[in-house]
């Protein structure tokens, strides 16, 4: 499927949208880069590149830190250092959260268009809620969302469908009327399991894989284009 195409009728009746954060609304890899290398310095490890980090993000902080440590240690070594590494990472991330991250094109315009069209909006991210809320506020995106769930807000995170199904319950809407929008297979798998329609963006972080190989209902170039497609089918 090419960017800028959406399956016919899949968005008909949509009344709400669940939007991912990292890689969908914001390029946060520069924040990760600073925080992770700050953590690595505390462990007397050499810095790693932003490109390497980009392949690791999207599955939550615990997975990220274990993957970073696995560059230098075996499984036992990773677990031995995990707690100290996580503490260091969280300190460094909170210190820089949002300072180096940037909005992708037409994110705010897209959110404003969805809101103006009467869509209810939720942000569901695997980023810890203590990082997600201040980041959304700093970038003036918090005003658009009724609900924000982080990776530690519920017992399960994406690609498990639980966070998406929770939003559907919160909005009192069936999954078919709640579209998920994200940048990775995590978002698409969660949406498929929840029976929500799903749109993907062609930028962002998809664990090194092409978004064209991900099972979605359409690839939209921006959130503004997503808003237009939703409007066209409603």
Instruction: Give the single-character DSSP code of 22.
Output: B
For residue 218, the SS3 value is strand
Q: Annotated catalytic, 27?
A: no
**Per the residue annotation, which of 8, 20, 106, 172 is the catalytic one?**
20
CA gap 131, 134 in Å, rounded: 6
CA gap 36, 33 in Å, rounded: 5
Percent helix, strand and coil across the chain, each to the nearest 5:
45, 15, 40
CA gap 79, 169 in Å, rounded: 37
Distances (CA, A) of 148 to 14, 99, 110, 127, 135: 19, 21, 18, 11, 12
Active-site positions read 20
């Amino acid at each position: 499927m090419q960017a800028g195409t959406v399956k016919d009728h899949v968005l008909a009746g949509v009344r709400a949208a669940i939007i991912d954060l990292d890689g969908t609304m914001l390029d946060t890899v520069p924040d990760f880069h600073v925080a992770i290398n700050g953590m690595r310095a505390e462990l007397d490890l050499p810095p790693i590149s932003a490109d390497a980090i980009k392949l690791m993000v999207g599955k939550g902080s615990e997975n990220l830190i274990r993957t970073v440590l696995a560059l230098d240690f075996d499984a036992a070594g990773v677990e031995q250092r995990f707690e100290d590494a996580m503490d260091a990472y969280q300190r460094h991330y909170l210190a820089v959260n949002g300072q180096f991250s940037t909005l992708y094109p037409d994110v705010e315009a897209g959110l404003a268009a969805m809101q103006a069209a009467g869509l209810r909006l939720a942000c569901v991210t695997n980023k810890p809620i203590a990082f997600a809320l201040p980041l959304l506020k700093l970038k003036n995106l918090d005003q658009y969302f009724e609900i924000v769930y982080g990776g530690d807000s519920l017992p399960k995170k994406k690609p498990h469908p639980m966070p998406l199904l929770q939003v559907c319950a919160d909005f009192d809407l069936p999954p078919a009327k709640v579209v998920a929008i994200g940048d990775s297979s995590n978002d698409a798998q969660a949406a498929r399991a929840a029976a929500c329609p799903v749109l993907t963006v062609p930028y962002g972080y998809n664990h090194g894989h092409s978004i064209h190989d991900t099972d979605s209902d359409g690839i939209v170039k921006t959130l503004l284009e997503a808003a237009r497609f939703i409007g066209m089918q409603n």
